[in-house]
Copies of this chain bind each other. A is one copy, B any other.
Amino acid sequence: MTGGTLYGIGLGPGDPELVTLKAARLLATTPVIAFFAAAGRPGHARTIADGLIGPAAELIRMDYPFTLEIAVEDPRYRAGIARFYDDCAARLAAALARGRDCAVLCEGDPFFYGSFMYLFDRLHRQHPTRIVPGITGMAGCWSAAAAPMTQGDDMLCVLPGTLPKAALVDRLRLADAAVIMKVGRNLAKIREALAAAGLTDRALYVERGTMAGERIIPLADKSDDQAPYFALVLVPGRRGPR
């Protein structure tokens, strides 16, 4: 393995002050900075990093070829997205081959439900790779909610809201504390699963955690089932002594 080093840099959930000292140092000094964005949008990770990127950095913008136009289940989605990641990896590989270090900006933590993993898969065998962990969206949200999550022998379950209702119920029943990600269109189903597991009273709904427009309410007080994709439901645990 020769040439530049590939960095996956976690930037936390949105508040630019929740970036680590290590990430800030690498953003200021890495010559090539790459980031994903939806077409026509600035890119969430890019926005978090705004004041931290060095003035001479070369920026590689990676525009998702589609977001909601093609369903994830559609075979065209899988083929199209694989081609997209192949192309992104080739652009980074070219810079790495020229001996340039490349940093990929990652919302939250790079290895926790992040697109960076698709680049890691394609590049880490040929190029030295380093991962800088980031504050996860869930930790940003439970801190903003002032909701202690796990203590002692508590088991925490992190579930995507996209799972079928029965799978959600089975897992919630075994959990002491839970985080449900990817709420979006799944909120009505998530409510039913929480009720079946007897957890409705403990559930909190969090929208835009750590950012402008943050909203944290008991899920039972939310009167509709409209939610953005990145909203979270938290079920704080803590069976142990207080």
A interface residues, Cβ below 8 angstroms from B: 10, 12, 15-22, 24-25, 78, 81-82, 109-113, 117-118, 120-121, 124, 129, 131-136, 139-140, 142-144, 146-160, 162-163, 170-171, 174, 238, 241-242
Question: Assuming A136-B139, A241-B82, is B157 touching A129 (CB within 8 A)?
Answer: no
Question: What residues of B have a CB within 8 angstroms of the CB of A124 in the complex?
Answer: 146
Question: What residues of B have a CB within 8 angstroms of the CB of A117 in the complex?
Answer: 148, 151, 238
Question: Assuming A18-B20, A159-B155, is B139 touching A132 (CB within 8 A)?
Answer: no
Question: What residues of B have a CB within 8 angstroms of the CB of A113 in the complex?
Answer: 150-152, 154
> Copy number of this protein in the oligomer?
2
Question: Assuming A135-B134, A153-B163, is B19 touching A147 (CB within 8 A)?
Answer: no
Are A133's CB and B143's CB within 8 A? yes
- Of all chain B residues, which has the CB nearest A142? B111
Are A157's CB and B160's CB within 8 A? no
Are A20's CB and B25's CB within 8 A? no
Q: How far is the CB of A30 from chain B (nearest CB, A)?
A: 15
- Of all chain B residues, which has the CB nearest A15? B22
- In the bound assembly, the distance between CA atoms of A124 and B117 in angstroms comes to 39
Are A155's CB and B171's CB within 8 A? yes
- Of all chain B residues, which has the CB nearest A141? B133
Are B134's CB and A139's CB within 8 A? yes
